[in-house]
Amino acid sequence: MHEHERAGDVRAVPAQMLDRGFRLLVLREFREADQPPALALIRQNVLRDVHRLQRHGIFFSCTFLPDITQWLNELVGRASLHPPDYPASPAFRNPAWPTFHWRQESRLWDEGISTIEWRAEAAFADQASFEAFTARWKDRLAAAATPDGSSAA
């Protein structure tokens, strides 16, 4: 698996494949004493930018890019489902939809810089949907293509 050689490198790296899922580097946190953390967004091609601005600041979440979301909707249904008596009963999460978890790992670089590598871990509900996903999006998981289909630098 390709790893960055310099802390300032923000190019996409291949996803780490897991049992029914994958782990993708999306964010690098730089910490200096007596300073707020600095964040570098990794230019991956599977998830939307993980930072969201809102009224009370910034928060971080994982969401697939729109074209991947549309494809997943066709494969396993929408992420949110409505019960038969909706709106009397609230919508609920589609259990067939992939889940996300954050994984962090400290890294010390050759130049003495210390970072926290933030990876989004996607887990699929079943092997069939995971295999369909990896077959369809293998180029993006390998960091070999941009969302428009051209080669990444």
Give per-residue pLDDT as tens, 21-77: 999 999 999 988 888 989 999 999 999 988 777 777 777 888 999 999 999 999 999
Is residue 6 included in any domain, yes or no?
Answer: no
C-alpha–C-alpha distance, residues 28 and 25, integer Å: 8
Predicted pLDDT at 60? 81
What is the 8-class DSSP label of residue 50?
A: S
- For the stretch 72-111, pLDDT in tens is 999 999 999 998 998 888 999 999 999 999 999 999 998 8
Is residue 149 included in any domain, yes or no?
Answer: no
* Count of the separate structural domains present in the chain: 1
* 8 Å CB contact between 103 and 119: yes
Predicted pLDDT at 111? 83
* 8 Å CB contact between 28 and 117: yes
Predicted pLDDT at 144? 54
Residue 69 belongs to domain spanning? 16-141
Is residue 153 included in any domain, yes or no?
Answer: no
Of 42, 16, 3, give the one whose Cα is nearest residue 121.
16
What pLDDT band is residue 148 in, cutting at 50, 70 and 90? Answer: low
Predicted pLDDT at 146? 55
Is residue 93 included in any domain, yes or no?
Answer: yes
**How far is Cα of residue 92 from the mean position of the Cα atoms in its chain?**
22
What is the 8-class DSSP label of residue 152?
A: P
Over residues 121-132, mean pLDDT: 98
- Model pTM score: 0.84
- For the stretch 2-19, pLDDT in tens is 578 899 999 999 999 999
Is residue 137 included in any domain, yes or no?
Answer: yes
Is residue 132 included in any domain, yes or no?
Answer: yes
